Amino acid sequence: MKIISKMVAVSGFSLMALGISMSSFASESPETQASGRTYTTVTISNIPGGGEAKANLSTGNLKRSGDTQVTFLETKRTALLGNSAELVNSNQDARSSKVGLSLNKVVNGTNKGAQINYYYYAKVYSNIIEPNNNNDVTLQFSADKMN
């Protein structure tokens, strides 16, 4: 009887440990916090014209390497005059150079203080003479060099 009780207890602890590890594994969804050397895709909506900017601070990319460059790939935009982007930290401090985005083309910027094992975010600017407000941009970005 004691052996059966021990087996039941061990099985119970094993299932509990498995449940805890699965729940912590599921909490870092690849759609929300993508690991470095992969792109993170974001859509930033309602970007004002006139050179103003807007950041998406809910979907970050984890820097995994000591690369000196970061990568952006704009896949959709509504602004007439294009956009530029930079990598920022959660305080919106710049962590890369600002680069002009080109639709469906990979553009690299220079790393300016982004450190390994930290999450970084995309901040998108409108052109200074962009007449339209409420522009949208969908882009992929990485805190590491992707090409």
pLDDT single digits (tens) 35-69? 447 999 999 999 999 999 999 999 999 999 999 99
Domains of the chain: 40-142 (2.60.120)
Q: What is the pTM assigned to this prediction?
A: 0.75
**Do 26 and 62 form a contact (C-beta atoms < 8 A)?**
no
pLDDT tens sequence across 105-137: 999 999 999 999 999 999 999 999 999 899 999
